[in-house]
Structure 1
Amino acid sequence: MAKRKRLTALGMVGDAETNPAPAPVPPVARIAAEAAAQAALEDLAAELRQARDSGRMVLDLPLASIKATHLQRDRMHMDPEDMASLKASIRDRGQQMPIEVVALAEGNYGLISGARRLAALTALTDETGDSRFATARALLRPFDAAPEAYLAMVEENEIRADLSFYERGRLAHEAARLGVFESPAAAVKMLFQHAPAPKRSKILSFVALHEALGTVLRFPEAIPEKLGLALVKAMQQDPALAFRLRDCLETAAPDSVLLERHILEAALRPKPASQPLPQSGEDQDDVIAGIRIKVRPGRVVLTGRGVDEDFLVALADWLQAR
């Protein structure tokens, strides 16, 4: 029996050829297809790199790889109640807003913004040991975005919680020291560009206060505006005052806001005119208003309504500084 034939576009073929093998792809076509696929992959990789480098891609970074102190923060202390609320939110809903970082050497990253979120994640990791808090969602920014990041940080905190004048001055000084701005004046001009000129002038005065006493002050953010401006003016008139204050603060090591403020205020009080001390065994009228002195060999007695707690603290500070 003759084999049946079927008609195709190319002629008659037998049953054995009903499902022929596909024709081989010509080499030129195969090379072109592979080149197109490779080009598409390279374009995709380039787009991903560009998205990553321009801060359009959210990365999951280990907390240990993020240096929280890379840039100077504006807030010197974080409110415990605010931190507790933020931790509760992240615990329940996860990290909703990415932090911003800049790439450093050896796979590390420097924090630009999001210090509170990073601190909350770190605290939750330490408290719970839960691995879901051990990474931070982050946007990678180029370092030249640092001035804008500083500005955004300041504007956010100026609205959310007013910064003290010292915190403003310190931020401007440190941003200039790190090279983000060419000078503290340039930092103040940009970071507080919406503030009136008199306010920017006051911030520059607190820059000078930070430069003079920043390393020895323990509660600088609590210095009132009026006291800070008076201290800067007094140090301009008497350059030696800064050195005396540094020695006094280092020696006294005040452990409270009130004690530190008392030392600063005492430095501004005018010195009383010196009076000759009484002879041994002789009483003298008030040395200063409300204070009398009696001298004995190896002994001095101060009496009067002026011998109060503030006077005794100031006396102790003066004796320690001698």
Structure 2
Amino acid sequence: MARRRKLQAPSAEDLTRLEEEFRRETPMKGAMAPIAQVAADAAGQSPVVDAAAREKLAKDSADADRLRDAESKGLVMTEVPLDQIDMNDMIRDRASVDQVELSELIDSISANSLRLPVELYRLKQPGDGKTYGVVSGYRRLLALKHLHDQTGESKFATAKSLIKPIESVPEAFVAMVEENEIRSQLSHFERGRIAVVSTQNGAFETVEDAVRKLFASASKSKRSKVRSFAHVFEELGDLLGFADQLTEKQGLRLASTLRMGHTQELREAMASRQPANSEEEWLCLLPVVESAEEGPKDQSRGGRPKSASRPKPGTGRLKSLCAGEPVVLSRDEDEQGILLRFQGKGASKELVDAAIDELRALLGN
């Protein structure tokens, strides 16, 4: 049977030796907690920053915050390449671009570069490399594009731009209209047209809604006029060649005639027309407008009977020669005198001869 080994307590020398070995194999860095030790090590490795450097860092941080805030508000001007701008993302409120004014703008930008920045907005669905749409500055961009196409110079390849924080298509239309209302007054027809077109493009539910939001700052009477011109554009916009030159009075008379149910007569009056200017175009419409304004005569009204006026001779003959077809009269002038021009399907030699006979009779010739 094996004998049990007798255990002996270690001596003081043994304990001292063991403690020294433990300390040698496990170095200690003080009595601080581990996380405190990590922080101390990191601080020891970081460079020492003096007060001036700390002040500069704080200023740089504040400047960066201000820049980000200004950019978010569309207050920072930047250079945007023309090929990143979608010129056709939005239907413009201008019905046409005056070529003379555009030519003058091209000459100005060519000589002095682009003085005023254009206003853009980020497209919700960028495509074909296009990132931005146009709020204002459409003509300036056209001029820049023309110059770049003609010269190829890099200074015309970008546009000074402000990126506006616009979140929706209706906002973009409102911003565009407000900009043009401030810088250069839109015509009555252009106001009505953009209300209809923006509605057709889905920006607004109805034309009424478009007028109310696009011209929110306008007076009640002005919005009423815009609605009238919008009605003219809806019914006759495809036939009128000089609609943007309609005066306020002419547009309101047209709208009133349309509301009285004379749309077809107006369209027929324009069907075969080829007016050379706004005056001739209005003369095509005027007979229908005047007939509608005169209205049907009420034979039941009492009062003193009016003396019967002698019917104009030949009126029935002239109408029969027209055979119900439209005839447009216009005036011209040359070195020999004033000319009358007969146009339309109803114009014929017989009609002209009959009209000459009537004029001679009225003049006593």
User: Where does residue 42 of structure 2 map in the other structure?
Assistant: 28
Partners of 2:44 and 2:164 in 1: CA distance? 41
User: Where does residue 68 of structure 1 map in the other structure?
Assistant: 87
Structure 1 residues 226 and 66: alpha-carbon distance in aligned structure 2, compared to 1, 3 A threshold:
same
1:50 offset after TM fit, Å? 5.5
Instruction: Choose which of 136, 149, 153 in structure 1 pairs with 2:180.
Output: 153
Partners of 1:187 and 1:32 in 2: CA distance? 61
User: Where does residue 298 of structure 2 map in the other structure?
Assistant: none
Structure 1 residues 32 and 232: alpha-carbon distance in aligned structure 2, compared to 1, 3 A threshold:
farther
User: Where does residue 96 of structure 2 map in the other structure?
Assistant: 77
Q: Deviations over 1:236-279 (max 9, x none)?
A: 121xx3245445545445454344323222433539xxxxxxxx
User: Where does residue 309 of structure 1 map in the other structure?
Assistant: 340
1:49-68 aligned within 5 A: 51-68=70-87
The share of aligned pairs that are identical, in percent, is: 31
Partners of 2:44 and 2:105 in 1: CA distance? 57
Secondary structure of the residue aligned to 2:313 is: strand
Structure 1 residues 71 and 293: alpha-carbon distance in aligned structure 2, compared to 1, 3 A threshold:
closer
> Which residue identity does 1:28 align to in structure 2?
A
TM-score (norm 2): 0.57
User: Where does residue 302 of structure 1 map in the other structure?
Assistant: none
| Backbone CA RMSD of aligned residues | 4.0
> Which residue identity does 1:267 align to in structure 2?
V
Partners of 2:317 and 2:191 in 1: CA distance? 41
> Which residue identity does 1:58 align to in structure 2?
M
TM-score (norm 1): 0.64
Structure 1 residues 315 and 195: alpha-carbon distance in aligned structure 2, compared to 1, 3 A threshold:
farther
User: Where does residue 257 of structure 1 map in the other structure?
Assistant: 278
Structure 2 unaligned residues grouped into runs of 5+: 1-38, 48-58, 293-311, 323-338, 349-365
Instruction: Choose which of 120, 123, 126 in structure 2 pairs with 1:101.
Output: 120
Instruction: Choose which of 135, 149, 153 in structure 1 pairs with 2:158.
Output: 135
Structure 1 residues 139 and 294: alpha-carbon distance in aligned structure 2, compared to 1, 3 A threshold:
closer
Partners of 2:148 and 2:227 in 1: CA distance? 39
Structure 1 residues 256 and 49: alpha-carbon distance in aligned structure 2, compared to 1, 3 A threshold:
same
Instruction: Choose which of 225, 230, 233 in structure 1 pairs with 2:248.
Output: 225
Secondary structure of the residue aligned to 2:116 is: coil
User: Where does residue 263 of structure 2 map in the other structure?
Assistant: 242
Equivalenced residues, count:
258
Secondary structure of the residue aligned to 2:238 is: coil
